[in-house]
Structure 1
Amino acid sequence: MSKRFAKGLVVGKFAPLHLGHEWLIRQAQEQCEQLVLLSWACPELPGCAPERRANWLQVRFPELRSWVVTPEWLAQQRARGLALPDLPRESEPDTVQRQFVADFCLAVLGHPVDVVFTSEAYGDGFAAHLSRCFGRPVEHVEIDRARIQVPVSGTRLRADIHGLRHYLAPQVYGDFVEHIALLGGESTGKSSLALALAKTLGTRHAAEYGRELWEEQGGVLAYDDLLRIGRTQVVREQALAGQCQRYLVCDTTPLTTLFYCRELFGRAEAELEHLAERRYQHLFLCADDFPFVQDGTRQDETFRRRQNQWYEQELDRRGWAFTCLTGSLAQRVEQVLRHLSG
């Protein structure tokens, strides 16, 4: 069955892309043979960088053509000969904003659109301006202007992203989750601390995949396994982030995997070196200030000390701020909580 419109358009900041936006887009999809998504924000809004917005649109609507426009992108298009104006700032008149959309459609899409979908009062004026620019009628379809279906706005979300996280798809909310990374040599209480912190904070933790694979393979790891460990650890963090509450506790990082790869094989793949540069908002090093506990898989206290010294050197070399945790498990939890509330 043919749909009501051939070519449709949804324009928005999508900062962040929330379920109200998604409802609007899905409703537009049902009515259009082709639907295009266009986004820009000038100035950009905190936590909603263009790369993030482009990824949200791609992940949530992979079947649609979408553009997140930046001044840099415009410069590239002009270099290719496309006639495009400067990116309108938020403070500029509606006519400037609407003209940019018209110019974008003609220069980038190569054709007018038949309809625009909005949830805003400006929709009729927007469609009328496009009609004049295209020399043909452009309809406006208003979707849930009263915000009954999804009672939220980008402004409200930016003010309380964690309290209103249920209005975001997990893939979107995950980008706002702060990662707590724990480093430490063998027998420094890292895994116990990860579990305790996740429980205290009411959130999730990313367990150490390297340990799981080591046990699965009977205590034997090949060189290629180390890159697999680093990749899987990052994928695990990404998968869990959207299920968290404000924080994700990471039992380890690819920096640990790099240490073991160099220790066991004297070298490491460039990709693993790159993964070891992964940044975390909160970084903690568990001190080796209590007796070494041999569980049958660990080396010895000398190795533990050397490992912690390596972490200290590598963190300092990279210029990454970290907090050293000391004392009992309860004391370490308290030190992390003080850091997070500081």
Structure 2
Amino acid sequence: MSVFQHGLVIGKFYPPHAGHHFLIRSAAESCARVTVVVMAADVESIPLAARIEWVRRAHHEQSGVAVVGVRDNLAVDYESETAWRGHVALMREAIACGPHGSAGIAVDAVFTSEPYGAELARRFDAADVRLDALRATHAVSGTKVRADPVAAWDALEPPVRAWFAKRVVVVGAESTGTTTLSMDLAHALRRRGGPHALTRWVAEYGRELTVRKLAVARALAGLRGLPEPSVFDLDWDDADFEAVAARQCADEDSAAQSGGPVLVCDTDALATTVWQERYRGRSTEPVRALAQEMPPRALYILTDHADVPFDDDGLRDGEQLRPWMTDRFRAVLEKSGTRWIEVRGDRASRLEQALAAVDEELGRGWELAAPLG
């Protein structure tokens, strides 16, 4: 049985973490209805829409919980009456836009973990429900997460992890060791343990599609009594590359949700534009659009062809095009504006170069803007 009619949880949720979710669950278990107000300033690095979506996804199964957002660019000053009035006015505005506020249901309980909870509750003429003020139940805060997301990885929900994951993409021409290096890199990161033990590897969907197309072509040839086709006999159209880019993006996003602080990808949609050029002579707008809409890449790793003998595994046909493709990848990566390196040498040397670049990227941190204070 609910103790309160309408509970209120407010915060920046910059980003949402286990402590926030504890507040919301507690409110949902104590109130018939709950309004969660996400308040974000324009100077902050994580968009308001993303924060709202993350909180909604985390609590979509809890009936009566409504998540709304408001832009709050007012300075925080707990000693200022003007500041209090401004912030509370924005909260009331957001509540009114939600289903419980629009129904005219007054807030009768305010759930916080902060000292300001008493004054906030007084201004809503509501009960002050203070939870985990000493952070003994969930020893996490937005400040801690922003300072070191890796240390707080367990306190983050899957979509938040996906946003923070540093996406490292290995690209290169045929038979230049992209799959070998990307798998070696993922394995090396997993061996570090902790959150890195969750490191995911995203396979190249284009290779899967090639295997399937060749198997189907050979089955049809067998039925018709025709000679067995090779990879040279396969037809590739623009729809194939559009499907590859879309699937690659979907697989990447799915892996990021369940992975660690680094996501290792064996190609991506930007690389698909180069492969489409190689087979079709140009890239198409749908593929380019998918490449432009991808989450930011932390690092590209280009595998040079010079130190890797061509290995014809029955799915490759581009030995003579490897120099052109390597040069084309260099040009595309340079234009992308994303940090990238080119690796050379034997397998161990390439892994060493890749790990050093990933560690440098991790050392840069996430460079999130400080919240408006």
TM range (shorter): 0.7 to 0.9
Aligned to 2:174: 186
Which range moved further: 312-321 or 181-190? 312-321
- After TM superposition, give the deviation of residue 191 of structure 1 in Å: 0.1
Gaps of 5+ in 1: 72-86, 132-137
Q: For 1:191, give the aligned amino acid.
A: T
Coordinate RMSD, CA, aligned: 2.5
- After TM superposition, give the deviation of residue 43 of structure 1 in Å: 7.6
Q: For 2:50, give the aligned amino acid.
A: R
Distance 1:35 1:271, change over 3 A: farther
**Aligned residues of 1:292 and 1:300 also touching (Cα < 8 A):** no
Residues 150-203 of structure 1: per-residue CA shift (max 9 Å, x gap): 232222222321022111122212221111111100011000001110111112
- C-alpha distance in 2 between matches for 1:113 and 1:180: 46
Q: For 1:231, give the aligned amino acid.
A: A
Q: Residue 152 of structure 1 is aligned with which of 116, 140, 160?
A: 140
Aligned to 1:83: none
1:217-228 aligned within 5 A: 217-218=213-214, 222-228=237-243
Distance 1:150 1:337, change over 3 A: same
- C-alpha distance in 1 between matches for 2:91 and 2:145: 30
Distance 1:319 1:143, change over 3 A: closer
Distance 1:332 1:324, change over 3 A: same
Aligned to 2:128: 140
**Aligned residues of 1:294 and 1:300 also touching (Cα < 8 A):** no
Q: Which has the higher contact order (CA 8 A, sep 6+)?
A: 2
Aligned to 1:68: 69
What secondary structure is seen at the aligned counterpart in 2 of 1:182? strand
What secondary structure is seen at the aligned counterpart in 2 of 1:276? helix
Q: Residue 290 of structure 2 is aligned with which of 275, 280, 285?
A: 275
Aligned to 2:347: 329
- C-alpha distance in 2 between matches for 1:91 and 1:281: 36
- TM-score, normalising length from structure 2? 0.77
Aligned to 2:219: none
- C-alpha distance in 2 between matches for 1:281 and 1:266: 29
Distance 1:174 1:263, change over 3 A: same
- After TM superposition, give the deviation of residue 141 of structure 1 in Å: 1.8
- C-alpha distance in 2 between matches for 1:230 and 1:94: 53
- C-alpha distance in 2 between matches for 1:94 and 1:247: 43
Q: Residue 231 in 1 paired to residue 246 in 2?
A: yes
Residues 264-312 of structure 1: per-residue CA shift (max 9 Å, x gap): 3455553321122333111111101132111111113222222222212
Which range moved further: 214-223 or 269-278? 214-223
- TM-score, normalising length from structure 1? 0.83
**Aligned residues of 1:17 and 1:56 also touching (Cα < 8 A):** yes
Identity of aligned residues (%): 30
Which range moved further: 214-223 or 300-309? 214-223
Aligned to 2:204: 208
- C-alpha distance in 1 between matches for 2:91 and 2:260: 40
- C-alpha distance in 2 between matches for 1:44 and 1:92: 20
Q: Residue 288 of structure 1 is aligned with which of 305, 308, 312?
A: 305
Residues 107-150 of structure 1: per-residue CA shift (max 9 Å, x gap): 4433542221112232222111223xxxxxx2222223333332
- C-alpha distance in 2 between matches for 1:191 and 1:96: 59
Q: For 1:56, give the aligned amino acid.
A: W
Aligned to 1:315: 333
What secondary structure is seen at the aligned counterpart in 2 of 1:296? coil
- After TM superposition, give the deviation of residue 103 of structure 1 in Å: 1.6
Distance 1:108 1:320, change over 3 A: closer
Q: For 1:283, give the aligned amino acid.
A: Y
**Aligned residues of 1:88 and 1:96 also touching (Cα < 8 A):** no
1:33-182 aligned within 5 A: 33-42=32-41, 44=43, 48-62=46-60, 64-70=65-71, 87-91=73-77, 93=79, 95-110=81-96, 111=101, 112-131=106-125, 138-182=126-170
- C-alpha distance in 2 between matches for 1:263 and 1:66: 47
- C-alpha distance in 2 between matches for 1:97 and 1:11: 16
What secondary structure is seen at the aligned counterpart in 2 of 1:163? coil
Which range moved further: 143-152 or 25-34? 143-152
Q: For 2:312, give the aligned amino acid.
A: Q
1:297-308 aligned within 5 A: 297-308=315-326
Aligned to 1:31: 30
Aligned to 1:19: 18
Distance 1:177 1:107, change over 3 A: closer
Residues 44-94 of structure 1: per-residue CA shift (max 9 Å, x gap): 55x5443432332232234643233336xxxxxxxxxxxxxxx32234636
Q: For 2:35, give the aligned amino acid.
A: V
Gaps of 5+ in 2: 191-198, 215-230, 361-373
- After TM superposition, give the deviation of residue 27 of structure 1 in Å: 1.3
